[in-house]
């Protein structure tokens, strides 16, 4: 299985690893051993195991499963954002 590393946008250390879900469309999914993804009303988040900042992810749906990528609108949260 092809695997690639995704760096934390806050500290630039390893945030999580992805395995190839759909090679035709270059869609990658989470692999075993990654930090837990938290589904929050403001979006899907992952806490960096290195700097403990919360990073916003974006779901990507494919015929082979659900993948996650870093969201383009990225901030480094100390805690999950409060509902608006």
Kindly state whether residue 44 falls inside one of the protein's structural domains: yes
Alpha-helical segments (H) within the chain: none
Q: Render the burial of 51-61: b for 16+ CB within 10 Å, e for the rest.
A: eebbbbbeebe
pLDDT at 28: 66
* CA–CA distances in Å: residue 38 to residues 24, 48, 58: 28, 12, 12
Exposed / middle / buried, residue 48 (Cβ in 10 Å: 0-12, 13-18, 19+): buried
Q: How many domains does the chain have?
A: 1
In a domain, 75, yes or no: no
Weakly modelled stretches of the chain, pLDDT under 70? 1, 21-31, 83-84
- Model pTM greater than 0.75? yes
Q: Which domain holds residue 10?
A: 3-70
Q: Evaluate whether residue 77 is within a structural domain.
A: no
pLDDT confidence of residue 32: 74
- In-domain check, residue 79: no
Whether residue 35 lies inside any domain: the answer is yes
């Amino acid at each position: 299985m092809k695997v690639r590393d995704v760096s934390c946008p806050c500290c630039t250390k390893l945030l999580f690893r992805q395995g190839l879900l759909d090679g035709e469309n270059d869609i990658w999914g989470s692999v075993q051993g990654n930090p837990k993804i938290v589904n929050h009303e403001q979006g899907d988040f992952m806490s960096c195991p290195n700097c403990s900042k919360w990073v916003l992810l974006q779901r990507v749906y494919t015929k082979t499963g659900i993948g996650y990528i870093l969201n383009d609108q990225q901030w480094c949260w100390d805690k999950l954002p409060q509902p608006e």
